[in-house]
Structure 1
Amino acid sequence: MLNRYSNTTRSVIITIFTFLVVTLSRLYYVGHFAVPLPYWDQWDAEGDFLLRPWIQGTLKLRDLWQPHNEHRIFPTRVLSLIIFEVTGAWNNLTEARFNILLAAAIPALLVWILCRRGELFGIRLLLLVVVIAQFALPFSFENLLIGFQSQFYFLILFTLTSLCLATFRPFHLSTILLVLLLSVLSVLTMASGLLTSLAAACVYLLNWFSNSQKLTAKTLIISILLVSITIGGYLILPQIAANQVYRARNLSDLMSAAGYILSWPIVGTSLPAIVFWLPACIVIPMLMFRKKLTHIDILMAGCFLWSLSQGLAIAYGRGQELTEVASRYTELFSLGLIGNAWFVIRLFEILSNRWFQITLPIYFSVFLYGHITHYSSDMHDIRRNYRLSLMQTANVSMYLQTKDKSFLQKPKWQTPYPDPIRLQHLLDDPTLLKILPTLTSDNKKTASE
């Protein structure tokens, strides 16, 4: 009994610690570098197509899952409406602050499960370093500073929850229904949300394999349903003609882009992809054929497969002459990098050969090196983005005061929307004007903070 209470207390402490570190870190970046002014897609997708019709009473239910580029952002739209109803204002800063809770919930959930299952001890505590780094560092500053990017956090949270349910309670009726629901919600969140159900199906099949049983009708039916959601999600993907030019033209394009993407957070070379993603490819089959797959192994395998498939999807969709990994995509790799770190630790535990055990210091050294070297460029981008945000705020504020169109006819990135005529139309809309945040050029804050 005492051990049980002790384990619960330890689990609570480590989970709260993780949640607070991530929350406080993100609060710092949002507090210093985010601004209230809506940015880019927010003007159309959130302001003109969501909040304005909501206020005017013309918003239809189906509008909540209509395509936005390649995505449907259903939960993001719902969250935007809830925040607006609570605050009465359309404020990017408020949305970005709320997203902190969504983001912090992801590592907190994962750490809680690891602790409650008694899997976070000894050398495995190194995993906590990877978890916190992936959610506390500012590499995904687009998602961090722009409130309208909550779809990334919803997708990761839906995916992790469905993988946990499929791992630990696979055949409870409520679990099956919830996994199916989360899979559908993932499809309605982002285009790559169709991969959530595929990862969940893999978890069900790994559960079956690890139990050394015949493939039951229940496992088969659930897996077929999940794969059907993936296929359905693919069939309803909006076809954006302008995006076709970015797709990989051949296998060479795909492999080159995949190596570049999967090497993140190290840039400029494809070699780190081997260090970051090969461990799971080796250890998962090893554990399968040794019949040593644990429930946590299965969960981490699901995380690995989901992030790997995300990376390959990005490589295909944006693989032609890829020059950089957009910061907004990088959080999709977090679950996979955590999963790989887990399997590096498992390899260290199950093999006594020192040549295999050296993979642990190699993995963590390369991982930490990547984040340490990437941090300076991340902060450079964040400060540059903040300087531009101040310019955008000042230009919009001056237009609202003077109605002088020259304040909107500025070079790219000095206004919060690419089309000055469209931006003027939106700023002149009386409904949107009433809900815009109070805009001031805060001279006390500088981009050098």
Structure 2
Amino acid sequence: MRIRFNPTRLKSLFIPLGLFLIILGCKYMLIASHGSDVPHWDQWDIEGAELIKPWVEDTLSPGDLFAPHNEHRPFFTRVWALLVYLLNGQWDARLEMVANALLHAGGAVMLLGFLAPSLRGWQKPAFIALLALLFALPFSWENTVHGFQSQFYFLLLFTLVHLHGSLVRRPLSPGWWGAQAAGFATLFCMGSGAASAVVVLVMLGFKSIILRQWTRGDAYTGIASAIILAAGFLLRVPAPWHDHLRPDSVLTYLHALSGLLAWPFPLFLVAPVMVAPIVIVALKARSSSLGSNTMLFVIGLGVWTWVQTAALAYARGGFLLGYSSRYGDLLAIGVIATAAALAGLLNLKKDGMKRSKTAILATCWVILVISGVLYRSFWSERHHLADLRRVHPVQINHIRNFIATGDAGELSDQPMLHIPYPDADRLADFLSDPTIRSILPVSIRPPIQLVTDRFSTHGFIPGGVPPKTHARPIDPPQGSYTEKGVRQEGYFRSQPINPDLSMLSMTIAGTFTLDQEHLTLIGVESAEIVGPLISKVPGARFMNLNTFRPEGSFVISVADQSSDTWIAISNPVEMGFYSWLAKKLAKLGFVILVVGSGLVVIGIGWEQRAHFSFLLSKSRKHSQDLS
């Protein structure tokens, strides 16, 4: 069978792929600068103690995956975290962040695919820019730099599929059935997952009463949504320990609700401007082209955001007016729906006065959205992310010291966020558990203790580094600098080690020349040699070095061939390959962003060129007809 190359189809992939990479690049840049591989807060419970530890000990049951966590049953988040762990062989919050970013960027591409056909001319580039803005900026930083947040992204993905398939696809078609499955899946993402079923029922009522449209297929959709809603009611999880977060009066609730409806602008008085386009489209749907299935989907997205807003104001309205940064990714969907509604209003055929009013509304809305998103992003950087970058090394240092010494004082009575869990005693229990210690990420994992074998010479000693060497490891390194300040020639060789993971992470220091010092890994059975590993002279500061290891057991060999120089290595730490890859990808965030931007520019250029060519040919034909 001969496969034909279709350049047009290839060109159509440039914009969605570019948008995906833009969002991914921005998120990876944030992860590189503010992320950590150390689990944070709830991760120690829901992932470490209740998921990965039982899996390793072969005690995990299928029911454990559906167990409640606060108001939620985060089945898909648990499965996702377990798959990431199994892929890597090591628990790593940074790797989860990198994987979660793929889900969120995929949601943006899905929205573009669902809504782009209704956009005309300049509207599509503007819509792409809005998607990039709302999915890439760090106003919802918690979901990006904390590993245990994928439930927001799964809820977004399943909701989009459910609403689009139920309101746009032909009933009982494969896409429709997939949508109902996605609707059921929302119940196992977050406690508010049933909101999409509520919205489908509302939109079916709107379609029947306002648009005077009803088919047998709509009845099937209504029955399916009612079943999903009933299942959501039966699966609900009360969380009385969160009752204090609820508003204490109707006035407080309305204040929280209006503040959320005004999102992203931080002033509740602008809420009417933010919701007006969806309301206007709904009112005009019967008498114009705004009654199409795509516009029903747009209205449904807006209503879904309002339902989420109402639930959030009720559940968290007594705490900072119901808003925490992680909910921004859900509220952003309402902004996107409103943008699509404005595009629909601008595309209507109407007189100059009505068009001017729509343009004024659109201009005010755009100003509020852009200023609000930028304000929240800068606020997050200044008041949250800067502190996060500062406390991560502190957390790692406290945990390393506790693991090395067993001193509970390293964890107790610490300031807020100086340890990655709110209860120091329980964190000590986690870190003392042998199973959890065996899965810890590389930054806090206990190192492999190197033992000198009989082939080593007297040149290397434990702690053999100059007194002013910086970034020393906690365990004494093996070095060729003596306590008397004498640099020695020597040879260090460890006894065989056989770690479980495919890579090692260690630190090295020394003032040597590359042709005189050698660090190699030598396989015992395979005789495979990895090295020389040193490509840069670190000086009097320990430098990180990551490397693959030989198959099977192996020894670590270090040679100092000059009495004028010295070299030292730390005990190595096991490292999963995908932990290493996640860190590399995060550092490539800017490159990914640039590539994505280039693809979008090229894709838009091709599309606009074709659009202008079509308009030009149409104009010429009209001129010929007149002549």
Match for residue 314 of structure 1 among 299, 312, 315:
312
Counterpart CA distance in 2 for 1:118 and 1:14 is: 16
- Written as runs of structure 1 = structure 2, the 5 A alignment for 1:79-118 is 79-115=80-116, 117=117
Q: Deviations over 1:365-389 (max 9, x none)?
A: 1111112222211112112122122
Partner letter of residue 247 of structure 2?
A
1:230 aligns with 2:229: yes
SS state of the match for residue 190, structure 1? Answer: coil
Deviation at 1:288, TM superposition (A): 2.9
Q: Return closer, same or farther for 1:363/1:411 CA change in 2, 3 Å cut-off.
A: same
Q: Which has the higher strand share?
A: 2
Distance 1:277 1:160 in 2: 20
Matched position secondary structure for 1:255? helix
Equivalent residue of 2:265, what SS?
coil
Tell me the equivalent position of 2:215.
216
- Could you tell me which residue of structure 1 aligns to residue 71 of structure 2? 70
The residue aligned with 1:54 is 55
2:149 match: 149
Amino acid at match of 1:335: I
CA distance in 1, matches of 2:297, 2:246: 31
The match for 1:424 is 428
Amino acid of the residue matched to residue 97 of structure 1?
V
Matched, 1:412 2:416: yes
Amino acid aligned to 1:266: F
User: 2-side partners of 1:192 and 1:51: how far apart?
Assistant: 26
Mean CA deviation greater in 176-185 or 419-428: 176-185
Aligned to 1:257: 256
User: Is the contact between residue 38 and residue 92 of structure 2 (CA under 8 Å) also seen in structure 1?
Assistant: yes
Q: Is the 8 A contact 1:162 1:183 kept in 2?
A: yes
Identity level (%): 27
Q: How far does residue 19 in structure 1 lie from its aligned partner after superposition? A: 0.7
CA distance in 1, matches of 2:125, 2:171: 31
Matches within 5 A, 1:24-423: 24-115=25-116, 117=117, 119-204=119-204, 212-213=212-213, 215-267=214-266, 269-290=267-288, 292-320=290-318, 322-323=320-321, 325-350=323-348, 351=350, 352-353=352-353, 354-380=356-382, 381-409=384-412, 410-423=414-427
- Aligned-residue offset at 1:284: 1.8
Distance 1:230 1:249, change over 3 A: farther
- Farther off after superposition, 191-200 or 166-175: 166-175
Residues 382-440 of structure 1 show CA distances to partners (whole Å, capped at 9, x for unaligned) of 12122122221221111111111111011221111111111100100000000001226
Look up the SS of the partner of 2:149 in the other structure: helix
The structure carrying a bigger helix percent of its residues is 1
Secondary structure class of the residue paired with 1:415: coil
Per-residue CA deviations over 1:158-181 (Å, capped at 9, x if unaligned) read 111122222332313423332221
**Which of structures 1 and 2 has the bigger CA Rg?**
2
Specify the SS of the correspondent of 1:59.
Answer: coil
Q: Select between 76-85 and 383-392 the one with higher mean Cα deviation.
A: 383-392
Query: Match for 1:391: what amino acid?
Result: V
The answer for unaligned runs of 5 or more in structure 1 is: none
Distance 1:146 1:185, change over 3 A: same
Supply the distance in 2 between the matched residues of 1:124 and 1:374 (Cα, whole angstroms).
25
Q: Distance in 1 between matches of 2:389 and 2:137?
A: 17
Q: Distance in 2 between matches of 1:287 and 1:7?
A: 34
- Distance change (3 Å), C-alpha of 1:16 and 1:208: farther
Q: Distance in 1 between matches of 2:299 and 2:543?
A: 48
SS at match of 1:438: coil
Counterpart contact for 1:40–1:418, Cα < 8 Å: yes
Q: Deviations over 1:84-137 (max 9, x none)?
A: 11100010000000011001001111212334x363532343222221111011
Is the CA contact (8 Å cut-off) linking 1:262 and 1:276 kept in structure 2?
Answer: yes
Conserved in 2, the CA contact under 8 Å of 1:114 and 1:120? no
- Superposed CA deviations along residues 200-219 of structure 1, whole A, max 9, x for unmatched, are 33455566679854x33431
How far apart, in 1, do the equivalents of 2:279 and 2:70 lie? 33
Deviation track 1:126-151 (CA, whole Å, cap 9, x = no partner) reads 22222111101111111101111000
Structure 1 pair 386–444 and aligned structure 2 pair: CA distance change class (3 A): farther
Provide the C-alpha distance between the structure 1 equivalents of 2:282 and 2:179, rounded to a whole number of angstroms: 23
Q: Does 1:12 align with 2:2?
A: no
In the alignment, the residues of structure 1 paired with residue 166 and residue 217 of structure 2 have an alpha-carbon distance, to the nearest angstrom, of 13
Larger displacement relative to structure 2 (328-337 or 120-129):
120-129
TM-score if structure 2 supplies the norm length? Answer: 0.66
Q: Report if aligned partners of 1:19, 1:107 keep a CA contact under 8 Å in 2.
A: yes
**1:326 CA displacement:** 0.5
What is the SS of the residue equivalent to 1:234? helix
Counterpart of 1:427, as a letter, is L
Counterpart of 2:309 in structure 1: which amino acid? G
Query: In the alignment, residue 42 of structure 1 is paired with which amino acid?
Result: Q
1:15 CA drift (Å): 0.9
Go from structure 1 to structure 2 and tell me whether the alpha carbon gap of 1:171 and 1:105 turns closer, same or farther (over 3 Å shift): same
Q: Residues 64, 396 of structure 1: CA spacing in aligned structure 2 closer, same or farther, 3 A cutoff?
A: same
Distance 1:124 1:94, change over 3 A: closer
CA distance in 1 between counterparts of 2:184 and 2:423 reads 34
Q: Answer yes or no: is the 8 Å Cα contact 2:290–2:344 preserved in 1.
A: no
| Separation (CA, whole Å) in 2 of partners of 1:196 and 1:323 | 24
1:439 to 426, 438, 443: 443
Letter in 1 for 2:243: Q
Q: Which amino acid aligns with 2:390?
A: R
Q: Which amino acid aligns with 2:237?
A: P
- Write the letter of the residue equivalent to 2:131: V
Deviations 1:23-57 (A, max 9, x none): 11111111111100001000011100011111111
Contact 2:315 2:322 in 1 (8 A): no
Change (3 A) 1:266 1:324: farther
Find the aligned partners of 1:285 and 1:164 in 2 and give their Cα distance. 21
Contact 2:166 2:180 in 1 (8 A): no
